[in-house]
Amino acid sequence: MPSSSSCLCSRCNSDRVVSGVLHAATYLKFQVNELAPAWLTTERTTLKTESALCMDCGLVWLSTDTKEAARKLGKYGTDELKSRLGLDEEAES
């Protein structure tokens, strides 16, 4: 993640952005709205601890392993989502 001194918030364009580490008592879960209806798993995507916070609008963003995210979305995503992200083409290769 770039230095917070060079970041602009993608929501409000503020330059009042600080970088840090997000801590949680339990694991974080990001649920994609376009998953197949029968999706149920205990798999977890490993989150990097790097994060950034906008002091003006409160937006927080994180980094994650994109290969792992693509694997999970390719496995559990709807056909429309896989097509939009080009994941259906990777599965056929």
pLDDT in the model for residue 20? 86
Say if residues 72 and 43 touch (Cβ distance below 8 Å): yes
Kind plus residue range of the DSSP H or E element containing 17: strand 17-21
pLDDT digits (tens, 9 = 90+) for 10-45: 999 999 999 987 765 555 566 666 666 544 454 555
Give CA–CA dist 2/19, Å, rounded: 9
How many of the other CB atoms lie within 10 Å of CB of 67?
Answer: 8
pTM of the model: 0.58
Strand, helix or coil for residue 68: helix
